[in-house]
Amino acid sequence: MDDPSKKSGFAPRKNVRSVLLVALALVLLAVLPQLAELFDQPAMVSLATRIVILAIAAASLNLALGYCGLVSFGHAAWYGIGGYVVGILYKHYVSGDPLFGLPLGTDQMLITLPVAILVSGLFAAVFGALSLRTSGVQFIMITLAFAQMIFFFFVALKAYGGDDGLIVRRRNILPLIDARDGATFYWVCLFIAIAWFALLRRIVGSRFGAVLAGVRQSERRMAAIGVSTYRYKLAVFVISGMGAGLAGALMANHARFVSPDMLHWTQSGEFMIMVILGGAGTLLGPAAGAAVLILLETQLAAFTEHWQVILGPLLVLMILFTRGGLSGLLKLLRGGSNG
Amino acid sequence: MGEPLLRVQRLFKSFGGVSATDDLSLDVLPGEIHALIGPNGAGKTTFIGQLMGEIEPDSGAMFFDGAGIGGLSTPKRVRRGIARTFQITQLLSDQTALDNVALAVQAGQGHSFRFLKSAANDFSLRSPAREYLDVAGLGGRADVRVSQLSHGERKQLELAVALATKPRLLLLDEPMAGLGASESRAMVAALKRMKGGISILLVEHDMDAVFALADRISVLVYGRIIASGAPADIQADAQVRAAYLGEGES
């Protein structure tokens, strides 16, 4: 693919206007709960929390898909596993039943989030190690198949709610801050998202990131300069899975509910749409994609119950005509040249 | 005469009954330029693919610096000191010429599991990369994206990237193909500057370039070496003239 909007991690061009734009967006995001109060729109905070969390998941998928060219169609698996870690730990915390014979239940967010990240990373490592033996369409299908396997596993897992899922009656707690307050939890998610995006930015610009960009463009070339690509692909797959697990854990806290829906292939598809809509291989594209998709969904759903009939063609048109998603659109509007 | 750097013994490869490499034996001595010529479809690129481990031969043996390399993966062979250029360029087209070379330098410095430090500002990558671009005659175009480079410049970049892996043996797959007269001269000059240091197996159609550069020439027809020797002998060989040099060589 020869897509000019796919900027590499190399030598980020400092663009004063985009820095200002990002700064402005950050300020607006930071004061969003106050704005919601000002305009008497309390539902806005919850909606924004959802977008911020999904942006983390989409950005994680983008690291593998956009930067490394690994089209994973199973990222809902890591997202759902992250969510179930929170749900299962909470259930054991409430019931006091041992988990793996140990009193492991907890509602401490400082424990549940890292555990969710680790567990989803572990699963991503195992399934990635197998999936990455393939490439192209086979890789897409095998990641989808693995994710569906995990989906059906949780559907059948009656101990943890099966089809009905698990209710997390009260959100995980944090020391010193009241995460059960909606605005506070929003700020927690926003802070984590900013940290995650900052980390991704460093990764993309690093030596590791340079290898990812190389793998995306020509694996043959990478072999010819002496790089065994498999372990780099596995590493990026695991990092990507960990990010999705983090998002899932936050979503479980936000919705106070986890169910197999989080693991369903349509969720994987939605992450992909966010990435492609926003601009694959761009740092902030997935965040924009998440925001636009969720806002469109909620707006159209308020308008008609057949909102998907409108959303579908709209997405197709946007992707067809912007070439590179919203990031490409931004570039077109600015009259930016190639690059 | 020293031990050959590359020794290929009785290599066979066929694709569905069509023989692409037929009992091919050849060696490359340290510091020499060994040219491999032959008509289109003679199996030259297939041969390079087998030397690099991209294509598995049906039978035969390959030794590099005295050690067998059959069965080694491409990256492992590259790390031992074999590099190739591609006839159809295989470059990272979204990135600049310098990025392409810097990545090859990076690959030569060991693993790339470094996640936080910026690679774009890494002097230990950028500075050698610039030198390789200079050697290939592309120093002035370092910051141009590959997609904006001319065909000839991409060929030069192929050479710079291959050099950045610090090879002892360089397999050049038609480095002059599609180049204009002046670009061709620049490429010959660049290869001449390297002569004596890196051993080269040169696959090329441009006979002027071959006779200007090669110490030895082997002629490949239908996967088989029909003649091998000094340039003057090859030029005089009647069989070669009939099979190759004679047929409409412009």
A45 neighbors A185 (Cβ within 8 angstroms): no
CB–CB contact A228 B113 (8 Å): no
Pick the last residue of a domain from B113, B131, B166.
B166
Mean pLDDT of A30-58: 95
Size of interface A-B (CB pairs under 8 A): 119
Q: For residue B87, tell me if it sits in a domain.
A: no
Pick the last residue of a domain from B166, B186, B201.
B166
Mean pLDDT of A100-117: 92
Tell how far CA A112 is from the center of its chain: 18
Q: For residue B86, tell me if it sits in a domain.
A: no
CB–CB contact B115 A208 (8 Å): yes
Our CA dihedral for B229, B233, B236, B242, rounded to 10 degrees, sits at: 0
Residue A232, chain B, CB below 8 Å: the answer is: yes
Both B206 and B128 in one domain: the answer is no
Both B162 and B232 in one domain: the answer is no
Cα(A229)–Cα(A211) distance, integer angstroms: 8
Residue A213, chain B, CB below 8 Å: the answer is: yes
Nearest CB to A10; choose among B93, B115, B120: B120
From chain A, the residues in CB contact with B103 under 8 A are 210-211, 214, 225
Nearest chain A Cα to B91, which residue? A221
Both B248 and B185 in one domain: the answer is yes
- DSSP string of B44-67? HHHHHHHHHTSS--SEEEEEETTE
Cα(B1)–Cα(A187) distance, integer angstroms: 74
Q: Token digits for A49?
A: 């929390």
B154 neighbors B85 (Cβ within 8 angstroms): no
CB–CB contact A10 B164 (8 Å): no
- DSSP string of B234-245? HHH-HHHIIIII
Both B134 and B171 in one domain: the answer is no
- DSSP string of A219-269? HHHHHHTT---HHHHHHHHHHHHHHHHHHHHHHHHHHTEE-GGGGSHHHHH
Residue A67, chain B, CB below 8 Å: the answer is: no
Please give the mean pLDDT across all residues of chain A. 90
Both B193 and B156 in one domain: the answer is no
CB–CB contact B83 A220 (8 Å): no
CB–CB contact B115 A203 (8 Å): yes
From chain B, the residues in CB contact with A202 under 8 A are 115-116, 118
Nearest CB to B119; choose among A206, A221, A222: A206
Q: Give me the percent of chain A exceeding a pLDDT of 70.
A: 94
Cα(B97)–Cα(B130) distance, integer angstroms: 9
Nearest CB to B114; choose among A2, A206, A225: A206
From chain A, the residues in CB contact with B82 under 8 A are none
* pLDDT band at residue A215 under the 50/70/90 scheme: very high
Decide if pLDDT at A145 tops 50. yes
Both B241 and B182 in one domain: the answer is yes
CB–CB contact A217 B94 (8 Å): yes
Structurally, chain B folds into a number of domains equal to 2
CB–CB contact B120 A12 (8 Å): yes
Residue A321, chain B, CB below 8 Å: the answer is: no
The CA distance from B17 to the nearest CA of chain A, in Å, is 26
Nearest CB to B94; choose among A6, A203, A220: A6
How many C-beta atoms lie closer than 10 Å to residue A112's C-beta?
26
Q: So what's the pLDDT on residue A11?
A: 40
Q: So what's the pLDDT on residue A13?
A: 53
Decide if pLDDT at B8 tops 80. yes
Cα(A244)–Cα(A56) distance, integer angstroms: 7
CB–CB contact B102 A339 (8 Å): no
Both B125 and B191 in one domain: the answer is no
Mean pLDDT of A65-74: 95
Q: Token digits for A161?
A: 């709610």
CB–CB contact B112 A203 (8 Å): no
Residue A12, chain B, CB below 8 Å: the answer is: yes
Nearest chain B Cα to A3, which residue? B94
The amino acid at A139: F
pLDDT tens per residue across span B99-146? 999 999 999 998 999 999 999 989 999 999 999 999 998 999 999 999
**Residue listed under structure tokens 């067809």:** A320
Both B176 and B64 in one domain: the answer is yes
Q: So what's the pLDDT on residue B108?
A: 94
Q: What is the DSSP letter of A13?
A: P
* pLDDT band at residue A3 under the 50/70/90 scheme: very low
Both B104 and B49 in one domain: the answer is no
Nearest chain B Cα to A227, which residue? B75
* pLDDT band at residue A9 under the 50/70/90 scheme: very low
Parallel, antiparallel, or unpaired: how do β-strands A166-167 and B224-229 relate?
A: unpaired
pLDDT tens per residue across span B19-73? 899 999 999 999 999 999 988 888 999 999 999 999 999 999 999 999 999 999 9
Please give the mean pLDDT across all residues of chain B. 91
Cα(A252)–Cα(A262) distance, integer angstroms: 9
The CA radius of gyration of chain A, in Å to the nearest whole number, is 20
The CA distance from B124 to the nearest CA of chain A, in Å, is 12
Decide if pLDDT at A8 tops 50. no
Q: Residue B187 is part of a domain; what is its CATH number? A: 3.40.50.300
Cα(A313)–Cα(A325) distance, integer angstroms: 14
Nearest CB to A223; choose among B75, B116, B145: B75
Both B187 and B161 in one domain: the answer is no
Q: Which residues of B touch A (CB under 8 A)?
A: 52, 54, 73-76, 78-79, 83-84, 86, 90-96, 99, 102-104, 106-108, 112-120, 122, 145, 147-148, 161-162, 164-165
Q: So what's the pLDDT on residue A5?
A: 40
Cα(A57)–Cα(A73) distance, integer angstroms: 13
Which residue range forms the structural domain that includes residue B130? 92-166
Both B34 and B68 in one domain: the answer is yes
* pLDDT band at residue A213 under the 50/70/90 scheme: very high
What is chain B's length? 250
Query: How wide is the angle at C-alpha B79 spanned by C-alphas B73 and B85, nearest 5°?
Result: 80
Mean pLDDT of B6-29: 93
The pTM of this model reads 0.91
B205 neighbors B176 (Cβ within 8 angstroms): yes
Query: What residues does each domain of chain A span?
Result: 51-263
- DSSP string of B171-239? EEE-TTTT--HHHHHHHHHHHHHHTTTSEEEEE-S-HHHHHHH-SEEEEEETTEEEEEE-HHHHHH-HH
B165 neighbors A225 (Cβ within 8 angstroms): yes
Both B58 and B39 in one domain: the answer is yes
